Amino acid sequence: MKLVKTHYNRRSFLKVSTATGGGMLIGFSWLTRCTPPIKEGLAIPDEWFDINGYIKIGNTGMVTIFSPNPEIGQNVMTSMPMIVAEELDVPWEHVVVEQGALDEDAFKNPQFAGGSLSIKLGWDALRMAGATGRRMLLEAAAKEWNVAISDLSAKDGTITELNGDRSIGYGEIASKAVGLEVPEEVPLKEPKDYKLIGTFQKNVEGSKIVTGKPLFGLDFKREGMALAMIEHPPAFGMKVKDFNESEIKEMEGIEDAFIIDTTIEDPAWSDVNAFPQLIAIIGKSTWRLMKAKKALKVNWETVSELENSEMHTERLKWDLHKGEVGESRKDGDPDEAFAKAAKVIERSYTSPFMAHNTMEPMNFFANVTEDKAELIGPTQTPKAMEESVSKLLGIPVENITVDMTRIGGGFGRRLYVNFGVEAAAISKKLGRPVKLIYSREDDMTQGTYRPTYLSTYKAGLDEDNNLIAFSAKGVGLPEGSVFPNRFPAGAVENYTAEKIKSRTNISTGAWRAPRSHFTAGAEQSFLDEVAEAAGKDPIDFRLELFDRAKNNPVGEKYDYDAERYAGVLKLVKEKAGWGEDRPGIHRGVAAYFCHHSYVAQVFDMVMADGKPKVKKVWCAVDCGIVINYEGAINIIQGGVIDGIGHAMYSELKFENGSSVHKNFTTYQLIRHHQAPEEIEVFFVENDITPTGLGEPGLPPAVGALANALYKATGKRYYHQPFSTANQELINIEMG
Amino acid sequence: MFHPISKNMSVFNLTINGESKQVDVAPDTPMLWVLRDELDLVGTKYGCGVAMCGACTIHLDGNAVRSCQLPVSAVAGKPITTIEGLSENADHPVQKAWLEIDVPQCGYCQAGQIMNAVALLNENPNPSDEEIKNAMTGNICRCGTYIRIKQAIKKVAANS
Ligand code: FES
Ligand code: FES
């Protein structure tokens, strides 16, 4: 066991305790009322004791663990409490999980769902919460029996005297642990002693989901609450002037209609929003509001250029050469190396704008009074939302509460907070609680879209087919997707990479595995082509490069661990039986490292009725310690399907500043019949600090898909969406 | 059965999950919004409003229909079942299979997926992979749980 500083002290405990007993609980009442916590063999407690911000123990031994981070489907509501329960050493069957409200002081953990960081950043705080709780229960029992703590053991929810007959359940001693000084140092378990971490556990909200309980933001209801919908300008570059206000207000079921302005001076990164001025319509029924939206007659004014997709393509090509270079890297002398290379391969890759399209459209509840604001709904960044509402309405953050509902998908869209800010502005103006609802069309045409990208890769091989020069140049609207210090940086003697800026007035933002999803596809299919030109097996070719990076790295640093990277490739190679002859199966491989985790995939493709079809996907993952295998496998499978879907089918085109696609009638998402038949997931076993899985499963899927498509069809796929885009090599010369 | 109150409102008698309900809404109101706004049955989800995603799937007289496209005036006394009416305690065989396979990620689409799967299995207790795909393809899962959905359906079929 190693001792670890808790970062708790007496004062912070008191703070935790007040928060748990006061403000936070109010927020929970709606969220938990759907199902009383029923645990087999455990009575529902009539008294609860707050141990710390994460843990509440009932007098019957039932334990409530508050999950700090937003749940967007990445399953942290199961995995984060599992870590607490492991260190508290309580049977998982005794645990009920509740969503914690925003209170970073109490949780000692940044409460957001982004960058696949929940598990990585929460790892210490979660273990500490469990371990301090366990320690305080031990101390309470030691006092009670007048023995030393070292005479006791605490496990499986029971404290036992080592050399005696006495034992007591956590529930029976919990009252005595309340108010004890929080230890400054606590021992943490060694990974080999884990009983719960590393098992298969089901989603803690599974039964609420399959019975249709009110879990999501859109399901939230408060007595006296109004409903609101918004109308935003029909095009990027437009602004609302006025509208047929009195006509709309007279419509049946409509209570009010007005323009709100949510312009935030000094905006944060999460305030991306092309349409700060919006029309808000208020009523009691969603259908009436939808009809009123149709009856709007609005004067819009054009305030900046109305862009279209052709313009975007031209701009990408131009700025690839002329745009301002942001991050970059250079090793050796790439120009000279390319000049003397025996073979030079150059390819360009593109991908269109994409929408997030969470299945649950944007929505939020707000109840703003004179100097207080209560916000409830689906957000990946509750803290950022609190700050933005504070800035817009001039209400101090101490007077703002944010409760998180379950979230019907995030993918990065809900890192941005405009919908919550809009709800708050509407509630303020109305003077009563309101739930703002976006229609699917509102959601799809007013996004923080995945930028459109163009990247060009160039490789030089010498006479012996060694990779002697490599160049990656990428531009995007508004910024390219190249990561200069990622693979193959460090593995090629002469190397250059440039991330180039451009511009657009279309609002863009993070989209599941930002930039990595495109870069992995482009780079990994390019390397496949280079390996082929070098006459090498694509896995062996990559392994050679990892050897170089490990044994004799080029340059000062690179952003990956070559051994772990190679490790997932080796594992997938072995599991998939790579290299064996499998008649009728066309295989593609890719590996990518992003968001601190390593994933390699092999796609098995077949031709069915003349069409390529992914039959099976083999995945090897290294994310360090796996907390919950069930959730980990599920999210990797989801990432693969998401990667295939968006690379194959999805695109958002623009005409006169408007998204051409407004609903799933024309915006294609992958469907049942297009999904692979099977995805098998393998994990590298090690004791490395765990990292996240929400994003890393997606990027390599794009590359492995392109490479399998090549084997199946004989055609290389450079441009997304693969199913409809013209795959000719594009001319990126200017003029 | 129509009792117009104003030119835009009418009273409708509905049978939902075996219970009689009365609502007073515009006749063109889709059942989706009658369930969600008027009856507090929010298990049925809004995803697209144009019959393209399946999140709003309910049963009308035992058949899976998209409630976003079903005006309340077209229900005509036929019984409706929603996800809330499938079982009291998540013990409908399809719900049980969903839990055993641990299908959901975000969970938002799952009520619609389950309602669609139940209708499929009622009609065809032992569907082939091809039949599953054809029947389920109108239900989008943005999180990509398709493989697990198929596994869950096959599990029910195997147990039936
Ligand atoms: S909401 Fe009815 S099909 Fe999408
Ligand atoms: S589980 Fe998220 S949309 Fe299906």
Q: Which residues of chain B have pLDDT under 70?
A: 1-7
Place of tokens 């929810």: A157
Topology alike, domains A2-210 and A323-354+449-713: yes
Identity of the residue in A218, A638, A664 whose CB atom sits nearest the CB atom of B143 = A638
Place of tokens 């607490």: A84
B102 touching A, CB under 8 A?
yes
- pLDDT score of A123: 97
Contacts with B, A 433-452, CB within 8 Å: 439-440
Closest-CA residue in chain A for B134? A673
Q: Is A13 a residue whose pLDDT tops 50?
A: no
pLDDT tier at A730 (50, 70, 90 boundaries)?
low
pTM of the model as a whole: 0.95
ipTM of the complex as predicted: 0.97
Distance from CA of A407 to the nearest CA of B (A): 6
Q: Is A352 a residue whose pLDDT tops 90?
A: yes
Domain ranges of chain A: 2-210, 217-303+362-437, 323-354+449-713
- pLDDT score of A239: 98
Q: Is the dihedral of CA B15, B87, A409, A55 positive or negative?
A: positive
C-alpha distance from residue B130 to each of A14, A586, B112, B134, B137 (Å): 60, 22, 20, 6, 11
> Angle CA(A147)–CA(A150)–CA(A155) in degrees, nearest 5?
105
Q: Which ligand is nearest to the CA of B53?
A: 1
Q: Residue B78 C-alpha to ligand 1 middle, in angstroms?
A: 20
Minimal CA–CA distance to A55: which of A3, A4, A31, A20? Answer: A20
Q: Which residues pair with A681 in a beta bridge?
A: A619
- pLDDT score of A6: 55
Looking at the domain covering A217-303+362-437, what would its CATH class be? Answer: alpha beta
Q: Is the CB of B102 under 6 A from ligand 2?
A: no
Q: Does an H or E element contain A618, and which?
A: strand A611-622
Residues A666-703 have pLDDT tens digits of 999 999 999 999 999 999 999 999 999 999 999 999 99
Domains of chain B, each with CATH number or no CATH: 10-85 (3.10.20.30), 93-159 (1.10.150.120)
The CATH fold of domain A323-354+449-713: Aldehyde Oxidoreductase; domain 4 (3.30.365)
> Angle CA(A68)–CA(A72)–CA(A77) in degrees, nearest 5?
40
Q: Cα A490 from chain centroid?
A: 28
Residues A177-201 have pLDDT tens digits of 998 988 888 999 999 999 999 999 9
Q: Is the CB of B55 under 6 A from ligand 1?
A: yes
Residues A713-729 have pLDDT tens digits of 999 999 999 999 988 77
A206 touching B, CB under 8 A?
yes
Domain A2-210 has CATH 3.30.365.10: yes
Residues A230-251 have pLDDT tens digits of 999 999 999 999 999 999 999 9
- pLDDT score of B110: 98
Q: Is A465 a residue whose pLDDT tops 60?
A: yes
Distance CA B32, CA B34 (A): 6
